[in-house]
Amino acid sequence: MPLENSPSSYGTVARTIHWLIAGLIVVQFVLAPIPEDLPPGIHVVPPFGLDTAGVLARHKSFGMTVLLLMIVRLFWRRRSPPPALPATMRPLQRRLARISHIAFYVILFAMPLSGWMTVQAKGSSASWFGLWTWPNFIGKSDAAFQGLSFTHEILGRVLFFLALLHIAAALKHHFWNRDGVLVRMLPFGRSRASLPRSDA
């Protein structure tokens, strides 16, 4: 499989980044509620062997990893444009698809950034798997912490809703439209259609 995207399919780099981010998002949704859901007096999470501070540290590290991958993804998209949408899609469907992809990009940047700022407003800092600590740009502020943590939570809910729509749309393309849209992003899939390269 070629590294760069082709007119009909995504290349290895785009697919790898896509599935890494998707996997990390799933992990984040699993980790995020754990510290709040633990019974009183319980501070160790059995499946992970981590205390609540360790779970939060992993959550921060994975979140910053998503931010780094999104930066790489944005640059790679500029270097290797994605395949075009199928010609059979109606104009409204194309417009909705474009809006949803833009929304994904915005939220996948905003989520880790808001989480990073929330940590700073709490008077703490975020490290990356203990290898280095990200710089703080804002000081401790209870008001900022409340606002940022609320924003982070809302963005998470919107991301969850968008992900469900994304999965539903991908399944519709595969089983109803049969246009190869899902296959061209699967790790080992090959598109059957020959589509013109997108200008997006």
pLDDT digits (tens, 9 = 90+) for 11-41: 999 999 999 999 999 999 988 887 665 554 4
CATH classification code of 12-185 = 1.20.950.20
pTM for the full model?
0.84
Euclidean distance between CA atoms 194 and 169, whole angstroms = 20
Residue 64 pLDDT greater than 80, yes or no: yes
| Exposed/middle/buried for residue 52 (C-beta within 10 Å: 0-12, 13-18, 19+) | middle
The tokens for 154 are 């809302």
Residue 119 pLDDT greater than 80, yes or no: yes
The predicted structure's pLDDT at residue 78: 94
The predicted structure's pLDDT at residue 62: 96
Q: What is the pLDDT of residues 131-149, one digit of tens each?
A: 999 999 999 999 999 999 9
Give every CB contact of residue 183 below 8 A, 6+ residues apart in sequence. Answer: 174, 189, 190, 191, 192
Residue 188 pLDDT greater than 80, yes or no: no
Euclidean distance between CA atoms 80 and 74, whole angstroms = 10
- More confident: 133 or 197: 133
